[in-house]
Amino acid sequence: MNVFAPLLGSDRPSAVRWLLVGTLGFLALLTLLEVLPWQVALAVAALAFAAAIVFSTGRFATKARKDTDPVSTNGFAGLSVDHLAEALADPLIIIDANGAIVLANAAARAAFGDFRPGTLLQLRFRTPEFQAFVARLLSDEAGPQMTEYAERVPIERWYRVVGRPAGDGSGLSVLVFKDQSEVRRIDRMRSDFIANASHELRTPLASIAGFIETLRGPARGDAKAREHFLQIMHEQTGRMARLIDDLLSLSRLEMKTYANPSDSIDLTNLVRGVIDALRHLAEEVGVEIVREGADGPVPVLGQRDELIQVFENLLENACKYGQTGGRVVVTVDAGDGVADGPSVTVRDFGPGISEEHIPRLTERFYRVDVETSRAQKGTGLGLAIVKHILTRHNARLTIRSELNEGASFTVHFAPR
């Protein structure tokens, strides 16, 4: 690197250069006239040279900082508090020392409605916990304050609210609302799932333990009772095995990535294979399976084994719970390929389902009739598995039913 570049470069002020040149010339003249010893002149020249470099470099650095300062180049200094607040995705409210609303960003207005400036925050959020939170925030208590707030109309939403003073002596406080609704929903679902799974496993285990105790005691020498109890124990262990298999299926589905399957599947052949596989079950319960709709290829994107599991669940449910109708109709529709994609409808002619049960049928362990479900060896997880698989396939399930009119379950695929 050239040490003279900072001084002699074209971007240096010309006054610095000429001052240095003049100083060096004057010192040289004094030396020639023997006014100054050459050692003193050389020392003075070195000091002048160093001072010129420091002065010039400092000015250059200052200019460079100004040229590259993001505050200046990006216009950050021109942003107002309103602009910054509006850019936040979380609801934000600023209040004054009396609790009156000074500013509410767009996210806050979308979540809680419009705020009129000057309105007391305590009049909008009336829960005792929130009132105490605001009181602490407006008092002299040091540090940020935190509380939880729930909105239950029109839908339930939970927020974690953090408030803190906005600078010393400003009298303003900032409240940020962090939506916790999805976290709470997942926690509640997990708790319900564990409770339901424990209950479903505890019942057959208790039965088996009771039968074992009976076989070791009063029924020790009764061959007929022993055979009866062993048969029940076999059924209960089979029920637990089915439940564990379904739980593992759900776990595997939840662990998979959300990338949609991309294999091309012929829906017509797949449904025909499922019908052939379950025809023996239908004959055992006195149900005839009728296939209608498209006969030619109906291609969809999917994962073959998972789609087989979907239609096996739907067809098996139709045969078990709609067996009083004596018939199940499976219809394959190719769709128009533009607005409507392919679909498969499984319809039974059994007792039907009450309207209030339909929205909850895909919940884990939800049953319309617990005794009937257990009698049919159901685990309460079949439709939950169907829902998970269809979500992965960018498909959806619609359910229509009326009492004494049967029920229809339709799988809709997206157009290709």
Residues 322 and 277 in one domain: yes
Residues 277 and 402 in one domain: yes
For residue 64, give every residue at least 6 positions away whose Cβ sits within 8 Å of its Cβ, in sequence order, or none.
Answer: none
Q: Per residue in 163-187, pLDDT tens?
A: 998 877 788 899 999 999 888 877 7
For residue 200, the domain's CATH number is 1.10.287.130
At residue 370, the pLDDT reads 60
Residues 123 and 61 in one domain: no
For residue 32, give every residue at least 6 positions away whose Cβ sits within 8 Å of its Cβ, in sequence order, or none.
Answer: none
Q: Which of 179, 117, 175 is nearest to 150 (CA)?
A: 179
Residues 380 and 276 in one domain: yes
For residue 333, the domain's CATH number is 3.30.565.10
Class of residue 147 by CB neighbours under 10 A (exposed 0-12, middle 13-18, buried 19+): buried
Weakest mean pLDDT among 72-76, 134-138, 251-255, 264-268: 72-76
Whole-prediction pTM: 0.52
Domain boundary among 52, 73, 94: 73
Q: Are 290 and 327 in contact (CB under 8 A)?
A: yes
Weakest mean pLDDT among 137-146, 150-159, 185-194, 347-356: 185-194
Residues 407 and 273 in one domain: yes
Residues 276 and 391 in one domain: yes
For residue 171, the domain's CATH number is 3.30.450.20
Q: Are 12 and 6 in contact (CB under 8 A)?
A: yes
Tokens standing for 132? 């105490």
**How many of the other CB atoms lie within 10 Å of CB of 95?**
25
**Single-letter amino acid, residue 118:** G
Number of structural domains (the chain) is 4
Residues 245 and 269 in one domain: no
Going by pLDDT thresholds of 50, 70 and 90, the confidence category of residue 40 is low
pLDDT(122) > 70: yes
Residues 286 and 378 in one domain: yes
Quickly tell me which residue has 């906005």 as its tokens: 166
Which domain, by its residues, includes 403? 263-412
Residues 120 and 103 in one domain: yes
Q: Which of 1, 2, 10, 16 is nearest to 58 (CA)?
A: 16
Domain boundary among 43, 73, 103: 73
Residues 243 and 291 in one domain: no
Residues 283 and 407 in one domain: yes
Q: Per residue in 311-329, pLDDT tens?
A: 998 998 899 888 888 899 9
Q: Per residue in 357-393, pLDDT tens?
A: 888 888 877 777 666 655 656 667 888 888 888 988 8
As a whole number of angstroms, the distance between CA 214 and CA 208 comes to 10
Quickly tell me which residue has 């333990």 as its tokens: 209
At residue 280, the pLDDT reads 87
Helix-helix angle 223-255:382-392, to 10 degrees: 20
Domain boundary among 126, 146, 179: 179
Residues 279 and 386 in one domain: yes
As a whole number of angstroms, the distance between CA 408 and CA 405 comes to 10
